[in-house]
Structure 1
Amino acid sequence: MTDPLHNLALDGPRLDPFAGNTARQLVVLLHGYGADGTDLIELGQAWQDLLPEAVFVAPNAPEPLPFEAFGGRQWFALAERSLREYRIGAEAAQAILDRFLDTELRRYSLDDTSLALVGFSQGTMMALQCGLHRKFSPAAIVGFSGLLPGADCLGNVKTSCPILIVHGTEDDVVPCYHADAAHTALTKAGIACDLHKLTGLPHSIDERGLALGGQFLKDQFFRAT
């Protein structure tokens, strides 16, 4: 049976480099379950001063929610909300995101050393799944309020780019213990991973997270040059 998403091309809102010149970095912003690209493109607006030569792209996830009439999207379906479902879903959705990343890198004549993936919630699952299994390592991965799919089976990881995990201690959607589990698994796999648990923060990104994420991206892009 043919996968109906096989030939689907992702797209979404984008911001050209603030400096007005040719893009030297590509930052891909991956939204959470039930949102779309407009939900995260504001991160690019917040980081343009720090990364004036970066283009920011926030693709809409490939699937509409089955019960949503107002445009909500999903990277993969959530029914059980189990670790097994997260792993299988992220693995299944990886191919379409990989194709999008390859297309965007070609569009701007860049390679993976100029690529960063930033995710929120389900978008974090996709950023980690895709970033850790690409043929070439991205410059950085930033995950807000998410989890690591397949944290117990990282033997087939292909890349080892630096990762930043930011999670609120009061997150009642994706509990903060998932951040600890991801940090432990990644560290054991030999992948550099910074973890910041933000006191009092629910399932969201605040000014503390914005500052941590923006500085992390700036630092990793500088090291990659």
Structure 2
Amino acid sequence: MKVLVMKNDFLIEGPSLKPINEKAKMLIIFFHGWGSNGDDLIQLAPLFAEHFPSAYFLSPNGPEECPQNPFGGKQWFGLDFNNDGSIDRTKMPEKVALAAEHAKKYIGYWQNKLSLSNNETILVGFSQGSMLSLEIGTKNLFSGLLCYSGSFIKKDRPLTKNHRIMLIHGETDEVIPVASMQNAQLALNNLGAKVEIHISKNLGHSIDGEGINKGIEFIKKCNSYR
């Protein structure tokens, strides 16, 4: 399914997993990391589906080609680099905000198609996808936000305890240090959100079995509030 959400014919599309023999009662959307694509995180869907058989899973591709990974790599927004190879974060807030506007249209399309609401929608992100999920999910109230190996870019809006957020990070993450998660937790708590965290021991920029299990437990708790 191709969904036109941007000017100049940019499309957001990607793999999905439907519920078996029943109507979708919840929507779980995976947002991949920079340079990856929807085929990556959709691999989590069968594991989650064992616990949420009525969930409809989507794993869209970022709308932009990733120049640093031209072989199928996508991005939600481009990165700027300094001369020393480090990331220049100056324009990142406005870039993630623009990407969130387009992704929200994609979410709305599928919610309308499945007759589901934000209260029945979970956003799951990895790395850049977590930044995107937090941008969308702190401007709008969803059932829950499950964020792996990411950071919180825009810290300028009041939240409530009804913003249920789980941050999961690898202890030895070399791409986005675990301190980014700890800073995000502090900022989100200060804004009023309800935040849980988990640090996976001896894990780099990845998701392990323990992190998957913690994520499943979190979604179950989110469902209990509905």
Considering the TM-score relative to the shorter chain, is it more than 0.5?
yes
> Per-residue displacement from partner, 1:81-133 (whole Å, max 9, x unpaired)?
24433322211211110100000100100111000000000000000001111
Residue 182 in 1 paired to residue 188 in 2? no
Return 5+ residue gaps in structure 2 as ranges.
Answer: 82-86
Q: Residue 217 of structure 1 aligns with which residue?
A: 219
C-alpha distance 5-205 of structure 1, shift in aligned 2 (>3 A): farther
C-alpha distance 115-104 of structure 1, shift in aligned 2 (>3 A): same
Following the alignment from structure 1 to structure 2, what is the Cα–Cα distance between the partners of residues 89 and 65? 15
Q: Residue 44 of structure 2 aligns with which residue?
A: 43
Correspondence 1:111-126 to 2 at 5 A: 111-126=117-132
Shift of 1:66: 2.4
Per the alignment, in what secondary structure is the counterpart of residue 96 of structure 1?
A: helix
Q: Residue 93 of structure 2 aligns with which residue?
A: 87
Give the number of the structure whose residues are more often strand, by fraction. 2
Deviates more, 1:99-108 or 1:5-14: 5-14
Return 5+ residue gaps in structure 1 as ranges.
Answer: none
Correspondence 1:62-211 to 2 at 5 A: 62-80=63-81, 81-134=87-140, 137-150=141-154, 153-155=155-157, 160-211=162-213
Deviates more, 1:91-100 or 1:65-74: 65-74
Following the alignment from structure 1 to structure 2, what is the Cα–Cα distance between the partners of residues 200 and 33? 22
Following the alignment from structure 2 to structure 1, what is the Cα–Cα distance between the partners of residues 172 and 106? 33
Shift of 1:7: 5.4
Following the alignment from structure 1 to structure 2, what is the Cα–Cα distance between the partners of residues 159 and 99? 25
C-alpha distance 206-6 of structure 1, shift in aligned 2 (>3 A): same
Following the alignment from structure 2 to structure 1, what is the Cα–Cα distance between the partners of residues 68 and 174? 22
Shift of 1:178: 0.3
Answer yes or no: is the 8 Å Cα contact 2:143–2:223 preserved in 1: yes
Following the alignment from structure 2 to structure 1, what is the Cα–Cα distance between the partners of residues 137 and 100? 9
**Count of matched residue pairs:** 217
C-alpha distance 69-83 of structure 1, shift in aligned 2 (>3 A): closer
Residue 58 in 1 paired to residue 59 in 2? yes
Counterpart amino acid of residue 63 in structure 2:
P
> Per-residue displacement from partner, 1:17-65 (whole Å, max 9, x unpaired)?
14x2000000000000000000000111111111111000000001001
Counterpart amino acid of residue 21 in structure 1:
E
Counterpart amino acid of residue 165 in structure 1:
L
Answer yes or no: is the 8 Å Cα contact 1:133–1:159 preserved in 2: no
**CA RMSD after TM alignment:** 1.9
Q: Residue 84 of structure 2 aligns with which residue?
A: none
> Per-residue displacement from partner, 1:105-162 (whole Å, max 9, x unpaired)?
001001110000000000000000011112xx11000000010112xx3236599420
Following the alignment from structure 2 to structure 1, what is the Cα–Cα distance between the partners of residues 45 and 8? 28
Answer yes or no: is the 8 Å Cα contact 2:29–2:57 preserved in 1: yes
Taking structure 1 as the reference length, the TM-score comes to 0.91
Counterpart amino acid of residue 70 in structure 1:
F
